[in-house]
């Protein structure tokens, strides 16, 4: 894996104006598209009430709702593999337009769906179908965006570029949290149940159109353009090459993606509902705290992205996982003993989750440029489908017997991240200097 780290990247130089423009547009467009994908989870409690039989137990409605949320993750590998295949053969930029269309239209349709009271079992089935389309779209968007920005900047700024792009994606979560906070503040719970829950999804359709417009100003990556000019593109199915020749890179990338999923899905996406259900914290209050945590996460992604350029992958993940373990456990443990610390400890945990901004650095440098999109997309989306998709269901079931299930799940994944960090220190000395 070491021999591939310096391959097919722009020569050493400082970041220029065009680099910053590319990073800004890619991050902003990614934020708007990621908003569409995650807004669902901020209204999980309302969706569970409206799209399933009203006489269902509360825990069952939430389990079914998170099951539909998970379906978006389970659909990611298919969309990611297909778009990555064409991204390696036809170009990185072209897939951006396709992913936006696949995301914007289902999000808009969600805002127009009739509920269980109107059409019965067809309501959750239609919601499931739309969620699968969203999953296919994000499966190509996220890995494609990481590859896109990493191939635009010099080697020594790969971590910063990937961290900045990841911060843009997390800004999409922030936008979702702010919109959810606005809805819960501006409207009564009765109004939200009746019609206001639709507004965030309709707004998401508009965001999709804005993201599509922004992508017009981006150019194909220099790395892909050079491969295309030299006729050095993959001669066989890119995924076949990945599975045959890059097994270790796939395993490491999947392990890091599991860590990423624990940070994002549990600490950021599931926690607002957890605060409301487990500790009876008002929706507006929990979402306000969540917004602060996401702001800290956005900063953390850039911080850890820049840090990995300086320290290397091994040291960065050892330090980052220790920080995430300590801050997340302190946060969840305080909820029952010192809830007044919510607005202090939640942002600290959010900043530590920023270690996810260093994950794409390892992945984009683990695969040669000719199959980079396919290798990253296959590893990331398969792991997210398995771990990210099943995490909400598993943690929800764990909560029946363990009030601190979220904390314990994150701790377990921090242990995995620590092991991977030590592995990279031992096996990849050049990267960890």
List C-alpha distances in Å: 26 to 30, 52, 80, 371, 393. 6, 37, 18, 21, 32
* Half-sphere exposure (Cβ direction) of 41: Cα atoms closer than 13 Å: 33
Residue with the two structure tokens 């050049």: 430
pTM, entire model: 0.81
Tokens of 351: 């900043």
Spatial CA neighbour of 148 closest among 70, 219, 82, 64 = 219
CB 357 within 8 A of CB 302: yes
One digit per residue, the tens of pLDDT, for the chain of length 433 reads: 443 433 444 456 677 777 788 788 778 877 887 888 878 878 888 888 888 888 777 778 777 887 887 787 778 788 888 877 777 777 666 776 777 788 888 999 999 999 988 998 999 999 999 999 888 888 877 888 888 888 888 888 899 999 999 998 888 888 888 898 889 889 998 999 899 999 999 998 888 888 777 777 777 676 676 666 665 566 667 788 888 888 999 999 999 999 998 999 899 988 988 898 888 888 888 888 998 999 999 999 999 999 999 999 999 999 999 999 999 999 999 988 888 899 999 999 999 999 999 999 999 998 988 888 888 989 998 888 888 778 888 898 888 888 899 999 999 999 999 999 999 988 864 543 4
Q: What is the CATH number of the domain that holds 124?
A: 1.20.1250.20
Q: Is residue 1 part of a domain?
A: no
Q: Is the CB of residue 171 less than 8 Å from the CB of residue 24?
A: no
Dist. CA 197–CA 340, nearest whole Å: 29
- For residues 88 and 90, give the distance between their C-alpha atoms in angstroms, rounded to a whole number: 6
Q: Which of 188, 152, 172, 212 is nearest to 23 (CA)?
A: 152
- Kindly state whether residue 10 falls inside one of the protein's structural domains: no
Does residue 7 lie within any of the structural domains?
Answer: no
Cα dihedral across residues 20, 219, 163, 66: positive or negative: positive
DSSP 8-state secondary structure symbol assigned to residue 197? G
- Give the Cα separation of 404 and 422 in Å (integer): 27
Max CA separation in the chain (angstroms): 64
Asked, for residue 6, whether it belongs to a domain, the answer is no
Structural domain contains residue 433: no
What distance in Å separates the CA atoms of residue 175 and residue 170, rounded to the nearest whole number? 9
DSSP SS3 for 295: helix
Give alpha helix (H) positions in 111-261: 116-119, 122-150, 158-186, 189-194, 199-215, 222-229, 238-245, 247-261
In DSSP notation, 17-77 reads: HHHHHHHHHHHHHHHHHHHHHHHHHHTHHHHHHHSS-TTS-HHHHHHHHHHHHHHHHHTHH
* Distance in Å from the first CA to the final CA of the chain: 16
How many domains does the chain divide into? 1
Task: Give the rounded distance of the alpha carbon of 361 from its chain centre.
Answer: 15
Question: HSE (CB half, 13 Å, CA atoms) of 177?
Answer: 24
Contact (CB, 8 A) for 147 and 364: yes
Range of the domain at 312: 16-427
Whole-number pLDDT of residue 230: 62
CA–CA gap between residue 236 and residue 204 (Å, rounded): 38
Residue 384 lies in a domain: yes
The pLDDT value recorded for residue 339 is 80
Q: CA dihedral in degrees (150, 256, 40, 215; nearest 10)? A: 10
User: How many Å apart are CA 175 and CA 101, to the nearest integer?
Assistant: 20
Report yes or no: 298 and 174 within 8 Å, Cβ to Cβ.
Answer: yes
**Alpha-carbon span 399 to 261, nearest angstrom:** 18
């Amino acid at each position: 894996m070491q021999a591939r780290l310096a391959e097919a990247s722009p020569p050493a130089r400082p970041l220029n104006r065009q680099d910053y423009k590319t990073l800004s547009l890619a991050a902003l467009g990614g934020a708007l598209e990621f908003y569409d994908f995650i807004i669902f989870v901020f209204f999980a409690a309302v969706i569970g009430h409206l799209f399933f039989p009203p006489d269902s137990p509360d825990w069952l409605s939430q389990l079914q709702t998170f099951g539909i949320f998970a379906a978006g993750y389970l659909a990611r590998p298919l969309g990611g593999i297909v778009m990555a295949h064409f991204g390696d053969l036809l170009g990185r930029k072209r897939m951006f337009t396709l992913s936006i269309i696949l995301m914007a239209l289902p999000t808009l349709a969600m805002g127009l769906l009739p509920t269980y009271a109107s059409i019965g079992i067809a309501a959750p089935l239609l919601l499931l179908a739309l969620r699968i389309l969203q999953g296919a779209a994000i499966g190509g968007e996220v890995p494609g965006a990481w590859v896109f920005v990493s191939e635009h900047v010099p080697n020594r700024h790969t971590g910063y570029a990937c961290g900045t792009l990841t911060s843009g994606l997390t800004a999409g979560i922030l936008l979702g949290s702010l919109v959810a906070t606005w809805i819960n503040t501006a409207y009564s719970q009765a109004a939200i149940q009746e019609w206001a829950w639709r507004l965030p999804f309709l707004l998401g359709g508009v965001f999709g159109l804005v993201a599509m417009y922004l992508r017009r100003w981006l150019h194909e990556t220099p790395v892909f353009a050079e491969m295309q000019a030299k006729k050095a593109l993959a001669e066989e199915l890119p995924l076949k090459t990945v599975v045959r020749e890059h097994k270790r890179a796939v395993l490491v990338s999947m392990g890091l993606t599991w860590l990423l999923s624990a940070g994002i899905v549990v600490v950021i996406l599931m926690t607002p509902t957890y605060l409301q259900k487990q500790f009876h914290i008002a929706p507006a209050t929990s979402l306000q705290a969540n917004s602060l945590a996401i702001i800290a996460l956005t900063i953390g992604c850039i911080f850890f992205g820049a840090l990995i350029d300086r320290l290397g992958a091994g040291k960065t993940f050892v330090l980052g996982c220790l920080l995430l373990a300590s801050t997340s456990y302190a946060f969840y443990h305080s909820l029952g003993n010192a809830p007044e610390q919510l607005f202090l400890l939640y942002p600290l945990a959010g900043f530590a989750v920023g270690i996810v901004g260093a994950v794409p650095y390892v992945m984009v440098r683990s695969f040669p440029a000719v199959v980079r999109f396919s290798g990253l997309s296959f590893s990331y989306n398969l792991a997210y489908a398995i771990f990210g998709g099943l995490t909400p269901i598993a943690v929800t079931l764990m909560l029946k017997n363990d009030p601190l299930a979220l904390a314990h799940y994150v701790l377990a994944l921090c242990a995995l991240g620590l092991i991977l960090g030590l592995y990279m220190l031992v096996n990849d000395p050049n990267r960890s200097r």
